[in-house]
């Protein structure tokens, strides 16, 4: 990651945070003082009735973590030597992000049955077997369109950006334990942790204090920007919005988790094939 790309991502990150904390949160609060909240339609499958103002504190905690990750990126992961990374350090990071994600259900479990809140007893689970592939194919089509429109080349020419660090790690490491830890983290840990944080918690909280359309766009953009890669930002932001829509339609967090896992698995599969057959990867 170049300094220019890092700064631009920081600006996008700041604008995303300001849109909620600086504009939507006080703005919607003022509007609801004028027009009673009972007149606001916050319906949908994703409930907001158990959300309380105290939950904004946890939103701030997650935000602080994302900010710290961005500030440490250039000095940390962006310059890390692959020889320094170990399977243990990767799994340690996976455990940490799972603990971070667990803060959300921990904050809610005394107010509501978490199985019901997250829709984990979804009796139409078989639909995942067609929703997942359709989602992955749709994201692939968007990715191909972005390439054809020259997005990657434009980013590379103007900001010097490249692929996410995990792509390079999967391609270059000779440590099979490290490779296995990276794959496990990407395909299993990341989908669970990120969906609990973004769709399971941040989305209903932001929805409660704004409107569904704003909450979907905000959490989608935040999801895209916290991966700190300009090349993949539009695709991941759109992916975050689509996952919110799927969560609202189905009412089950299993759906975005499964779609996210399938998407990551496909990406990792392509990287493994490129590694196996020494196929040059796009920058």
Each residue of 236-250: pLDDT tens digit? 999 999 999 999 999
Question: What confidence score (pLDDT) does residue 77 get?
Answer: 44
Q: Give the pLDDT of residue 76.
A: 54
| Confidence tier at 80 by pLDDT (50, 70, 90) | very low
Tell me whether residue 160 is in a domain. Answer: yes
CA distance 98 to 100: 5
Residue 220 confidence class, pLDDT cut points 50, 70, 90? very high
The yes-or-no verdict on residue 41 having pLDDT over 80 is no
Tell me the average pLDDT of the chain.
89
Does the pLDDT of residue 56 top 80, yes or no? yes
Answer whether residue 156 is part of any domain: yes
Residue 37 lies in a domain: yes
Residue 283, pLDDT score: 46
Which of 131, 90, 126, 97 shows the shortest CA–CA distance to 262?
131
Rounded distance between C-alpha atoms, residue 210 and residue 110, angstroms: 24
Is pTM beyond 0.85? Reply is: yes
Lowest mean pLDDT among 28-42, 43-57, 135-149: 28-42
CA-to-CA distance for 180 and 274, rounded, in angstroms? 16
pLDDT at residue 78 greater than cutoff 80: no
146-150, 153-157, 171-175, 191-195: lowest mean pLDDT where? Answer: 171-175
Q: What average pLDDT does range 107-134 have in this prediction?
A: 95
Query: What is the predicted pLDDT for the residue at 169?
Result: 74
CA distances to 114, 196, 204, 250 from 126, in Å: 21, 21, 25, 12
User: CA 29, CA 209: separation in Å to the nearest integer?
Assistant: 7
DSSP state of 23: I
Q: Is residue 283 part of a domain?
A: no
Q: Do the domain assignments include residue 282?
A: no
In this predicted structure, the answer to whether residue 137 has a pLDDT above a threshold of 90 is: yes
Q: What is the pLDDT of residue 274?
A: 73
Q: How far apart are CA 10 and CA 221, in angstroms?
A: 13
Which residues are within 8 A (CB) of 41 and not within 5 positions of it... i.e. 6 or more apart?
A: none
Of the pLDDT bands very low, low, confident and very high (cuts 50, 70, 90), residue 75 is low
Contact 225, 16 (CB under 8 A): yes
- The parent domain of residue 169 ranges over 3-277
Contacts of 23 (CB under 8 A, 6+ apart): none
pLDDT score, position 51? 95
The domain total for the chain is 1
- The reply to whether 82 falls in a domain is yes
DSSP at 77: G
Mean pLDDT for the stretch of residues 158-174: 72
Mean pLDDT over residues 158-178, rounded? 75
């Amino acid at each position: 990651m170049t300094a220019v790309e890092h700064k631009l991502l920081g600006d996008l990150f700041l604008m995303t945070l300001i849109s909620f904390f600086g504009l939507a949160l006080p703005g919607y609060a003022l509007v609801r003082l004028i027009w009673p909240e009972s007149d606001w339609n916050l319906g949908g499958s994703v409930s907001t009735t158990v959300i309380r103002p105290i939950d904004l504190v946890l939103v701030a905690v997650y935000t602080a973590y994302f900010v710290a990750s961005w500030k440490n990126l250039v000095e940390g992961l962006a310059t890390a030597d692959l020889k320094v990374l170990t399977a243990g350090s990767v799994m340690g990071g996976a455990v940490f992000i799972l603990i971070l994600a667990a803060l959300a259900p921990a904050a809610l479990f005394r107010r509501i049955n978490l199985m019901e809140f997250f829709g984990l007893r979804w009796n139409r689970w078989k639909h995942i077997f067609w929703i997942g592939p359709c989602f992955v194919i749709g994201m692939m089509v968007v990715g191909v369109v972005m390439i054809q429109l020259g997005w990657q080349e434009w980013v590379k020419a103007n900001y010097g950006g490249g692929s996410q660090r995990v792509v390079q790690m999967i391609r270059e490491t000779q440590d099979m334990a490290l490779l296995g830890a990276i794959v496990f983290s990407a395909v299993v840990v990341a989908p669970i942790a990120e969906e609990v944080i973004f769709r399971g918690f941040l989305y209903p909280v932001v929805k409660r204090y704004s409107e569904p359309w704003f909450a979907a766009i905000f959490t989608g953009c935040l999801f895209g920007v916290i991966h700190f890669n300009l090349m993949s930002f539009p695709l991941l932001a759109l992916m975050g919005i689509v996952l919110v829509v799927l969560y609202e339609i189905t009412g089950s967090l299993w759906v975005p988790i499964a779609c996210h896992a399938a998407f990551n698995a496909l990406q990792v599969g392509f990287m493994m094939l490129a590694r196996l057959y020494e196929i040059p990867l796009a920058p």
